[in-house]
Amino acid sequence: MSKKYFGTDGIRGRVGEGKINPEFILRLGWAAGRVLGKQSGSRILIGKDTRISGYLFEAVLEAGLAAAGVDIQMLGPMPTPGIAYLTRTLHAQAGIVISASHNPHYDNGIKFFSAGGRKLPDEVELAIEHELDKPLVTVDSKNLGKAYRVDDAAGRYIEFCKSTIPWVMDFRELKVVVDCANGATYHVAPPVLEELGTQVITIGAEPDGININDGVGSTHIDHLQRAVLDHGADCGIALDGDGDRLMMVDSSGRVLDGDDILYIIARSRLENGGFTGSVVGTHMTNLGLEHALKSLCIGLERTDVGDRHIMERLEKRGWTLGGEPSGHIICLDRTTTGDGIISALQVLAEIKSSGKSLRDLGSSLEKYPQLLENVKLEGVSAVEIMASEALKSAIEQTQAELGNTGRVLLRPSGTEPLIRVMIEGQDLGQVQTLTQQLAGTVRDLV
């Protein structure tokens, strides 16, 4: 069955529009309580990022869960992966995250973690949707849920992050700039690094409810680049608003994206005897990473875009490492979900143990030029365009010109009326020409 409300990563949109309104979120809390809190004594955690609408949706979720007879533990501002960790270690039945990740403050969303700290399976989301279509009925007053504040939530998660590297390791010789995107990591990431001995320069750690992801964080990396150069830092760490994405900057100001970080961690695991299986990427993973991993005798399997798909493939194969260029890095040998802070610690640990700079570690991966062009759809469906024989022929011809040194990828956007045309290869000029030609074919069909 197709889902009516849930997207690939929960429910998200502009505050006050569509489903992101108090009435719907109240009902969502009640429906989730009915499905996830069936057993006696059930508890569900609620955490949020720093956007101003989090106060509103925290309150109505609490009311909906209480009406369903479920107790609530309130975490306050916490990174998404921290909420996953606390859901598991506090033995709650589920965790709810109020966040729109890297989006501006005027968006918000709701996503869920299971008792094991992982994204909910499709069948559970469908069960919640089924309850959403029923009339909201409050349990008897003696069975109403109660709400409690978890005062040491941040401290618990800070200790967990530090535990993901060897306890004898510290970073006393490193100067690091960390950009918290004015988001949920503002009170977590700096203490983690400071307690490990790092000399920390912090930016983007003054949230006011509306400045989340505003010119800072992993989607606005230029601010971090300038700070690294100005302070003569060894490297920079850029997190997004909810802390599950990571970008890094080396001492020269060069940006390392998710592919670079994934390669550094994979090679480190291999050299230290802690790597088995293959790496999982997406259709957007750079071909250069695939070839670099192959030279280490490590395979790469691709999935659809989205950390949910990466997680499903890792679990199916029994592997531990995956990620995507946007900075979602999943280290299942350390935690249960993508985690920007923990991924950054794995890179810093490799800097420390290898004696190499981030600049040196990142220079060994040669990524291929990759161009992406979006073609707007007007009055025609993506399905119709993608089924065109003329387009199929153009794709085959483009791939033939690239041979084994490049890739062609066309995919409809999941959120906008667009078809994304992506081509990568070793020769930038060829990639530019072929991208323009193939995008032109799509426009002609539109």
Q: Tokens representing 237?
A: 């760490």
Q: In CATH, what number is assigned to the domain containing residue 419?
A: 3.30.310.50
Q: 68-77, 222-231, 271-280, 408-417: which has the minimum mean pLDDT?
A: 408-417
Residue 32: pLDDT above 90? Answer: yes
Closest CA to 259 of 213, 292, 294: 292
Task: Clarify whether residues 144 and 167 are in a common domain.
Answer: no
- For residue 131, give Cα distances in angstroms to 21, 67, 161, 181, 335: 18, 14, 36, 36, 31
Q: Which comes out higher in pLDDT, residue 413 or 91?
A: 91
Task: Clarify whether residues 197 and 301 are in a common domain.
Answer: yes
Residue 325: pLDDT above 70? Answer: yes
Q: Which of 329, 363, 397 is the last residue of a domain?
A: 363
The rounded mean pLDDT for the chain is: 95
Considering the domain boundaries, does residue 3 fall inside one? no
Whether the Cβ atoms of residue 374 and residue 418 lie closer than 8 Å to each other: yes
Q: Which of 321, 341, 363 is the last residue of a domain?
A: 363
Q: Tokens representing 87?
A: 């859901």
Considering the domain boundaries, does residue 376 fall inside one? yes
Count of all residues that appear for the chain in the document: 446
Task: Clarify whether residues 251 and 358 are in a common domain.
Answer: yes
Task: Clarify whether residues 193 and 281 are in a common domain.
Answer: yes
Task: Clarify whether residues 146 and 184 are in a common domain.
Answer: no
Whether the Cβ atoms of residue 427 and residue 289 lie closer than 8 Å to each other: no
Task: Clarify whether residues 264 and 328 are in a common domain.
Answer: yes
Among 42, 53, 99, 101, which one carries the catalytic annotation? 101
pTM across the whole model:
0.92
Closest CA to 246 of 312, 173, 189, 315: 189
Residue 416: pLDDT above 80? Answer: no
Q: In CATH, what number is assigned to the domain containing residue 355?
A: 3.40.120.10
Considering the domain boundaries, does residue 285 fall inside one? yes
Whether the Cβ atoms of residue 145 and residue 75 lie closer than 8 Å to each other: no
Task: Clarify whether residues 387 and 327 are in a common domain.
Answer: no
Task: Clarify whether residues 144 and 213 are in a common domain.
Answer: no
Domain count, the chain: 3
Considering the domain boundaries, does residue 4 fall inside one? no
Considering the domain boundaries, does residue 102 fall inside one? yes
Q: Which of 151, 178, 206 is the last residue of a domain?
A: 151
What's the whole-number mean pLDDT along residues 280-295? 94
Task: Clarify whether residues 64 and 39 are in a common domain.
Answer: yes
Considering the domain boundaries, does residue 2 fall inside one? no
Task: Clarify whether residues 165 and 145 are in a common domain.
Answer: no
**Residues 128-185: tens digit of each pLDDT:** 999 999 999 999 999 999 999 999 999 999 999 999 999 999 999 999 999 999 999 9
CB under 8 Å to 147, separation ≥6 — which residues?
62, 66, 71, 72, 73, 74
Task: Clarify whether residues 136 and 261 are in a common domain.
Answer: no
Which range of residues forms the domain containing residue 41? 11-151
**Residues 388-414: tens digit of each pLDDT:** 999 999 999 999 999 888 999 998 876
What is the percent of the chain with per-residue pLDDT over 70, rounded to a whole number? 99
Place of tokens 């935690």: 335
Residue 332: pLDDT above 70? Answer: yes
Considering the domain boundaries, does residue 409 fall inside one? yes
Task: Clarify whether residues 323 and 385 are in a common domain.
Answer: no
Considering the domain boundaries, does residue 1 fall inside one? no
- For residue 227, give Cα distances in angstroms to 14, 168, 177: 32, 29, 7
**Residues 34-68: tens digit of each pLDDT:** 999 877 678 999 999 999 999 999 999 999 999 99
Residue 388: active-site member: no
